[in-house]
Chain A
Amino acid sequence: MSLNHRLLLVGSCFTLLVACSHNPPPELVDARVAFDRASEGPAKKYTPAELHLAETSLALAEDTFADENNTLLVRNQAYIAMRKAELAESMARTIKYERGLTASELREELLEDQDASRTKTDLAAAEDASAETSRELAAAKTAGAQTEKELAAEKLARASAEKRAAQSAADLARIAAVKQDERGLIITLSGGVLFASAKSVLLPAAQVKLNEVAEALLAGDPAATFVVEGHTDSQGKTDANQTLSLSRANAVRDYLILHDIAADRITAEGHGEDHGIADNDSAEGRANNRRVEIVVRPAKG
């Protein structure tokens, strides 16, 4: 082997030795990657102090790698630097989650407040509605009491009216023939007592009787109304009888009005010979047919 060859071989071995000695161990490569990743992630923002420690550890490993031929030391230092970088990352993520948790909790509190506020509003509305219902109930109760009171008063008034009507009917029964039918209380006054034949002027004796009738009617139900009906027998012309019956009814009505019966409570009707109550063939029957009836109609309702 020539000298040149020997020199070449020695040079190659030296170069190889140098190259091998400057290949970073896998721990150092991993540490660099871990640090780069950490420094670009949330650790930069949330855990800068821990990231700095990782950087210092990595720098120490790099210095050892550059200055000393102690691979074991470099590997150990690089491993520790890698773990410090990972620790910085983990701590940063933890802070991030905790802040997220805080944000969620704040949001949750806000929503709970909103919910509580809504519940409060609903409750207030319900209370208002309840108060309104109570007021309405109280008003209804008052109205009910008033109605009840009015009903009681009305009942009392009706009882009083009925009593008066009964008394009136009793009084009338002493004065004239009285009967009750579907039209009301019927007071029948004989035509012969009230009027002269074919006349519609009241006889003096009739006036005495009608005075008593007026008093009895006034003492009765003040809400009752009266219809004075004139009737004749079938003697003579029908038209004349009709006219006569109406004239007699009006004569009685006028008299009663003069004796304090309100005009709007009393009307007069002439029925002529149409509503006879007895046989017109006999004198007695005709006498019964010649009559004036006062129909007392009780107040409606």
Chain B
Amino acid sequence: MPHLHKRLSLLLCLGVLLPLGCASFPTPTDSMATAIASVRAAEEVGAEDVPKAALQLQLAREEIAEAKVLVEERENESAHYQALRASSDADLAISLVRENAAREGAKAAAARVDTAEAEVTP
């Protein structure tokens, strides 16, 4: 009988703790929301129109899609990291768009200066 009690206790512990262990990582709601917001921001600044930024944006979208699948499969930690990866890709896309604009602006300004100098010193 004591053996039986021990086995029943062990089974009870496993039955309770195992599901708890699987659910120990919470659903990555915040990281998913942040990633989705970053992707949206990248789209709004025009990442689609800048080749390097468009690549990062595409990666971010794919990672969000992957994270959603992982959430459905209750793989919350992996989903969380996919969301973080998506955020970092989307943030980089935004920065690349800004960099491109700054570069074009600098080139245009330099060209204007060249023209102005040519006019001032004929």
Contact = CB atoms under 8 A, between A and B. Distances in A.
B116 A83 contact: no
**Is chain A's interface secondary structure helix, strand, loop, or mixed overall?**
helix
Interface string A73-102: 100110110011011001101100110110
Interface of A: 72-73, 76-77, 79-80, 83-84, 86-87, 90-91, 93-94, 97-98, 100-101, 104-105, 107-108, 111-112, 114-115, 118
A97 B106 contact: yes
B106 A90 contact: no
B17 interface: no
A25 B119 CA distance: 58
Contacts, number: 77
Contacts of B84: 76, 80
A54 to B, nearest CB: 10
Given A80-B88, A94-B98, A101 B116 contact: no
A64 to B, nearest CB: 12
Contact of A79 (B88, B95, B106, B113): B88
B62 interface: no
Nearest to A79: B85
Interface string B71-109: 000000010011011001101100110110011011001
Given A94-B102, A111-B117, A100 B110 contact: yes
A111 B116 CA distance: 6
Contact of B116 (A84, A86, A93, A108): A108
Q: Which of under 10, 10 to 19, 20 to 34, or 35 or more describes the interface residues of B?
A: 20 to 34
A104 B99 contact: no
A175 to B, nearest CB: 84
Nearest to B53: A90
B57 to A, nearest CB: 13
Given A100-B110, A108-B109, 17 more contacts: A80-B85, A80-B88, A83-B92, A90-B92, A91-B95, A93-B103, A94-B98, A94-B102, A97-B106, A98-B106, A100-B106, A101-B105, A104-B110, A105-B109, A108-B112, A111-B120, A114-B120
B30 to A, nearest CB: 16
A76 B85 contact: yes
Interface of B is mostly: helix
Contacts of A100: 106, 109-110
A65 to B, nearest CB: 15
B118 to A, nearest CB: 10
A97 B102 CA distance: 5
A90 B95 contact: yes
B76 to A, nearest CB: 13
A167 to B, nearest CB: 74
A101 B102 contact: yes
Contacts of B103: 93, 97
21 contacts: A72-B78, A76-B81, A76-B82, A76-B85, A79-B85, A79-B88, A80-B81, A80-B84, A83-B92, A84-B88, A90-B98, A97-B99, A97-B105, A100-B106, A100-B109, A100-B110, A101-B105, A108-B113, A111-B120, A112-B116, A114-B120
Given A87-B95, A108-B109, A73 B81 contact: yes
A83 B105 CA distance: 25
A94 B88 contact: no
Nearest to B82: A76
A90 B96 contact: yes
Contacts of B82: 76
Contacts of A104: 106, 109-110, 112-113
Contact of B88 (A83, A91, A97, A108): A83
Nearest to A70: B77
B99 A90 contact: yes
A115 B116 contact: yes
